[in-house]
C-alpha cells in the first residue's frame, strides 16, 4: 500500500510505474516482488527525474507499506529519490510532531488493533477539522500478505475508542 503527501498526479504516475514493475517481476519469477525492490525501483525513477533535462522532479513523498517473505516493511521515499526503512513514520504537515509521538508510542510487540489505534491518534493530532470515518481511509497489511482496507464502520469503531 502507498500513501503520499504532495501532488496527486505525480503519485498516480509513480503508482503506475510501480504496478508495471511488480507485474514484470511476477511474469519473470512467478512470485510477488519484494517490497524493498519495489521501493528501490520507485526511488530510482524519482531520482532520475531530479537530474534529467526537460522534466521536473516529482513533487511527492511516499510511504510504502508491504509484507513479503522477510516480514513487514515500511519505507519512506522522498522527492530526491532517497528512501529509508522505518518501523513507524509520518509524512506531510506536522510530520515532525507525528514522528515524535510515534517514537513514544510504538513498540515491536504491538498488535494490529493497537497499531491502527495509535496511527489514528497520531493522525488526529495534526488533522484539520473533524476526523471521522467519512474523510479518512485505513488499511492493514499482515502475515497473510493481503492488503485490507477497513470499512467505514470499522474505522468508526476505532475512532469511538477514544
Residue linked to cell 510530520: 95
Report the alpha-carbon distance of residue 132 to residue 114 in Å, rounded.
18
First to last CA, the chain: 26
Which pLDDT tens digits describe the chain residue by residue (162 residues)?
999 999 999 999 999 999 999 999 999 999 999 999 999 999 999 999 999 889 999 999 999 999 988 989 999 999 999 999 999 999 998 899 999 999 999 998 999 999 999 999 999 888 888 999 999 999 998 888 688 999 999 999 999 986
The grid coordinates of residue 6 equal 504532495
Instruction: Give the pLDDT confidence of 111-146 residue by residue, as tens digits.
Output: 999 999 999 999 988 888 899 999 999 999 888 868
Between CA 151 and CA 159, with CA 157 as vertex, the angle to 5 degrees is 105
Amino acid at each position: 500500500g502507498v500513501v503520499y503527501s504532495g501532488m496527486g498526479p505525480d503519485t498516480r504516475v509513480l503508482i503506475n510505474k510501480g504496478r508495471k514493475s511488480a507485474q514484470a517481476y511476477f511474469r519473470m519469477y512467478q512470485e510477488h516482488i519484494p517490497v524493498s525492490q519495489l521501493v528501490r525501483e520507485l526511488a530510482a525513477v524519482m531520482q532520475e527525474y531530479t537530474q534529467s533535462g526537460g522534466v521536473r522532479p516529482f513533487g511527492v513523498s511516499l510511504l510504502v507499506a508491504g509484507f513479503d517473505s522477510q516480514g513487514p516493511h515500511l519505507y519512506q521515499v522522498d522527492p530526491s529519490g532517497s528512501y529509508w526503512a522505518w518501523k513507524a513514520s509520518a509524512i506531510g504537515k506536522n510530520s515532525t510532531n507525528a514522528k515524535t509521538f510515534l517514537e513514544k508510542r510504538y513498540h515491536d510487540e504491538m498488535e494490529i488493533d493497537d497499531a491502527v489505534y495509535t496511527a489514528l491518534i497520531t493522525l488526529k493530532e495534526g488533522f484539520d477539522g473533524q476526523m471521522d470515518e467519512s474523510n479518512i481511509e485505513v488499511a492493514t497489511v499482515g502475515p497473510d500478505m493481503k492488503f485490507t482496507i477497513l470499512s467505514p464502520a470499522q474505522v468508526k469503531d476505532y475512532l469511538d475508542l477514544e
